[in-house]
Amino acid sequence: MKRQVGRKEYWFFVGLGLFLILTLWYGATSFGFVKAFFLPAPQKVFLSFLDLLTEGSLVHDALVSMGRIILGFAVSTLVSIPLGVLLALSKRFEALIEPLIAFIRYIPPAAFVPLTIIWFGVAETQKLIMLFLGIAPYLALLIADIVKNTRRDLMEAAQTLGASPREVIFSVILPAAYPGIWDSFRIMIGAAWSFVTVAEIIGASSGLGHLMIQSQRYLRTDNIFVVIITIGALGIFTDYFFKYTYKNFFPWIAQ
């Protein structure tokens, strides 16, 4: 069991970890252990960050990527929740659909890039399909597992009191599953950053993935590091968003 620490102590260790990473990074570049072309100095990356921020390209591309993730995640959620519930509650539906979901789930989303470009070009639809193929199969199976673990006694009690199947789903199963579903969102939003970056690297005219591949073409390793750090920072932000909202939406679970 983890020992509880105070907020100040927690953030002290967060700062300590960052300080150690920056120290090792600075030392490796300052003393010539790694060539600047492969690993630019932290101060060089910081100056590149300021340049990209000033010219507006970093903010624009970050907003484009975040917009794609929000839209793709919303569409995936609208499909995955009812799909996951049906997979959990109907053996026939599970036998019909689960093999197809498992087949798609084990194919790397990057493998779909050539086909999605042929079918949809490099427009926004292609990015949306890539995100959907990467998120929806995993999310549907996670939700199915959560719904399957709903307490049987709660469902039986509702049925004994005369609840219809629809009422059992919306008044018992889903409310009990909401905390687990929200936690699944947190897991899959992290994966969404990987999928959108792949889609933007291979075929896009905007977004953080596009900025990264443009920097690679011009041998701007410092800009690549700026994009990587930006994606990581945005990922941490979304992760803490789901952590914070989880504690507020489900305080009886988070305690």
Q: Single out the residue of 137, 66, 109, 103 nearest to residue 198, CA to CA.
A: 109
CA dist 2 → 5, 26, 54 (Å): 9, 32, 43
Q: Which of 92-96, 154-158, 188-192 has the lowest average pLDDT?
A: 154-158
Residues 74-86: tens digit of each pLDDT: 999 999 999 999 9
pLDDT of residue 19: 85
Q: What angle do CA 211, 138, 90 make, to 5 degrees?
A: 155
Residues 98-128: tens digit of each pLDDT: 888 888 888 887 788 888 888 888 788 888 8
pLDDT of residue 230: 92
Please state the rounded mean pLDDT for residues 43-57: 89
Paired tokens of 230: 């930006």
Residues 19-49: tens digit of each pLDDT: 898 888 888 888 877 777 788 888 888 999 9
- Note whether 184 and 252 are within 8 A (CB): no
Neighbours of 36 (CB within 10 A): 12
pLDDT of residue 140: 93
pLDDT of residue 125: 87
Q: How far is Cα 12 from Cα 17, in angstroms, rounded to an integer?
A: 9
Describe the crossing of helices 221-249 and 208-217 by its angle, rounded to 10 degrees: 160
92-103 burial, b at 16+ Cβ within 10 Å, e below that, comes to eebeebbeebee
User: By percentage, how much of the chain surpasses pLDDT 90?
Assistant: 22
Please state the rounded mean pLDDT for residues 239-246: 87
Q: How far is Cα 80 from Cα 82, in angstroms, rounded to an integer?
A: 6
pLDDT of residue 2: 58
Paired tokens of 223: 């800009």
Paired tokens of 107: 């194919």
pLDDT of residue 170: 82
Instruction: Specify the CATH class of 56-254 in words.
Output: mainly alpha
Q: How far is Cα 221 from Cα 198, in angstroms, rounded to an integer?
A: 18
Highest mean pLDDT among 14-28, 85-99, 154-168: 85-99
- Find all residues with CB under 8 Å of 224, minimum gap 6, and list them: 212, 215, 216
Q: How far is Cα 62 from Cα 58, in angstroms, rounded to an integer?
A: 6
Please tell me whether residue 90 adopts helix, strand or coil conformation.
coil
pLDDT of residue 4: 66
Paired tokens of 117: 């470009």
- In this prediction, residue 145 has a pLDDT band, given cuts at 50, 70 and 90, of very high
Which strand (E) or helix (H) includes residue 201?
A: helix 174-202
Q: What residue type is 146 in one-letter code? A: I
pLDDT of residue 87: 92
Please state the rounded mean pLDDT for residues 43-67: 90
pTM recorded for the entire structure: 0.83
pLDDT of residue 1: 52
Q: What residue type is 64 in one-letter code? A: V
- Find all residues with CB under 8 Å of 189, minimum gap 6, and list them: 69, 73, 238, 239, 242
Token pair 């960050």 is at which residue? 49
Mean pLDDT (the chain, rounded)? 85
Q: Where are the domains of the chain?
A: 56-254
